[in-house]
Copies of this chain bind each other. A is one copy, B any other.
Amino acid sequence: MMTESRNNLKFSSDLGLEMYQLIEQLYPICRSITGNGVRQTLKIIQQLLPFLNIQEVSSGTPVFDWTVPREWNIRDAYVKNAQGERIIDFQKSNLHVLSYSLPVKAKITLGALKYHIFKIHDHPDWIPYRTSYYNERWGFCLSHNQLQELADEEYEVCIDSSLSNGSLTYGEYFLQGESQDEVLFSCHVCHPSLCNDNLSGIALVTFLAKHLSVLSRKYSYRFLFIPGTIGSITWLSENQTQIFKIKHGLVLAGLGAPGKYTYKKSRQGDTEIDRAMIHVLKHFGQDHEILEFFPYGYDERQYCSPAFNLPIGCLMRPMHGRYAEYHTSGDNLDFVHPQYLAESFSTCFATLQILENNKTFVNQNPHCEPQLGRRGLYNTIGDKELAMLWVLNLSDGHHSLLSIAERSGLPFAQVQSAAEILSKHGLLKEL
């Protein structure tokens, strides 16, 4: 029943460090929506989650309105100047290559090269991250400063990539619980060397899975490591008959950097996961913002499409597009910190504890208050007594513990603890 760390939601800094180390290990890999980068990533995760199931779905497989694309792989890429020096070098940063770039090998003028170059103005030292999955082209991304330095001469461009039939790869990890009802965690694994978006999400999902694997669980848990958009579409398409089991879910994306938590509610907007997450954010006292669902962002777009409308929200810190480092080389190993990873873990875990423990009880002495004093329950500290009174008063079969926590303003753990004491004394029974 996941009670082990209930009263200690601040996990040790060791855990933050372990997540950070996984990020360090995954950082150099060039991931995209398909290809060996994803496979290599999942293999590393498998060292922590040995039963991680690595799935391959062939290119060309129809998945709802989409088709699994050809597989993209890249070995090397560079731009050499007239002196033969690699002035743009994929080996230094895989962000330098437009993701899904077609192979190219050519001599080209600066003017022609510029048509294939992406940059950002605001941070002249940062390389932007750009993709072109469904529009066949090639390109290089570089910093504004790098671009300024390019002399007007002939360049040799080389992208040693391949785009050909293969498969889309994703990871799935399942933990059976007492119930068939499932909690889904989903993170995207398609971004190359970008730490917050989304190596942080990958690390969190990995360690939540690892942590939950050794606890007893009311719910079954499913953890998806998927390429963004096409990955969730593929998974939903392949698992249509099982989707009804998902009772709660979270997309985790960007949770290792400083800034405000943003929780984006599910499309339904008032589901238990929404309420549990909002409760946790409120009571942890950390700066946060709650947003109504909107149909762009991460894979919640697909999970919350009208035919599924799943109770799945999205937690971010900070929110995509709201930090300068977003989708640039600034989102590197300096941008994420073990401390924030640990805090995000605690936030997620506390939310799970609400889901796991959110029972509804019935007061067995509903006529007036029971005499707590003769049971030795009255002279306890004020807050405990208060929680007991709330639980007794609202345990009429219509209020779950989360409802009681919401109405009383008390933290869930305190309400849960009161319910356990009262149950022990025969004053409550689970509905």
Chain A residues proximal to chain B, CB less than 8 Å:
64-66, 134-135, 229, 232-233, 236-237, 240, 267, 292, 294-296, 301-302, 304-309, 363, 365-371, 373-374, 379, 386, 389-390, 392-396, 407-408
Contact = CB atoms under 8 A, between A and B. Distances in A.
B374 A134 contact: yes
A339 B335 CA distance: 54
> Which of A237, A307, A369 has the largest count of B CB atoms less than 10 A from its CB?
A369
Nearest to A392: B295
Nearest to A267: B393
A304 B64 CA distance: 50
Contact of A307 (B296, B305, B366): B366
Nearest to A398: B306
Contact of A294 (B64, B302, B408): B408
A interface, by DSSP: helix, strand, loop or mixed?
Answer: loop
Given A389-B295, A393-B306, A236 B368 contact: yes
A411 to B, nearest CB: 16
Contact of A367 (B237, B294, B301, B396): B237
28 contacts: A64-B365, A64-B368, A64-B370, A65-B368, A65-B369, A65-B371, A66-B368, A134-B371, A134-B373, A135-B373, A233-B369, A236-B367, A237-B368, A292-B407, A295-B389, A295-B392, A295-B394, A301-B389, A302-B368, A305-B367, A305-B368, A305-B369, A305-B392, A306-B363, A306-B392, A306-B393, A307-B366, A307-B368
| Copies, count | 3
Contacts of A366: 305-307
B371 A66 contact: yes
Contacts of A232: 368
Given A135-B373, A386-B296, A393 B236 contact: no
A363 B65 CA distance: 12
A393 B65 contact: no
A141 to B, nearest CB: 18
Nearest to A389: B295
Given A295-B389, A389-B296, A370 B306 contact: no
Q: Which 8 A-B pairs have the closest CB atoms?
A: A307-B366, A295-B393, A306-B396, A65-B370, A295-B389, A306-B366, A302-B368, A233-B368
B236 A295 contact: no
A373 B308 CA distance: 22
A288 to B, nearest CB: 21
Nearest to A373: B134
Nearest to A374: B134
A4 to B, nearest CB: 30
Contact of A306 (B304, B307, B374, B395): B395
